[in-house]
Amino acid sequence: MNKIQAAEVLAQYPPRTKVADIYHEDPQVGEALSTLMPNFEYPDVSYKTVKQLQYYIAQTQSHQQGSTR
């Protein structure tokens, strides 16, 4: 799964959906999170909503890109 596919997996859920509510129901969610978050640990994000997680991932990726320039 690439980063675009991983983002699409998360985007299929309503923004207020908690990660804990979908993680064990949809195996693609775990794969998507592992793709988008290299040091992914479920307990670190289980309480977040999909929207919060998308924001966190975007912030992390933009910070990583800025540090490699």
User: For 16-34, what is each residue's pLDDT tens digit?
Assistant: 999 999 999 999 999 999 9
pLDDT at 53: 94
φ, ψ (nearest 5 deg) of residue 48:
-80, 155
The helix/strand/coil state of 11 is helix
d(CA 7, CA 22): 15
pLDDT at 63: 66
pLDDT at 65: 63
Ranges under pLDDT 50 in the chain? 69
pLDDT at 60: 82
Kindly list the domain boundaries of the chain, sorted by start residue: 3-67
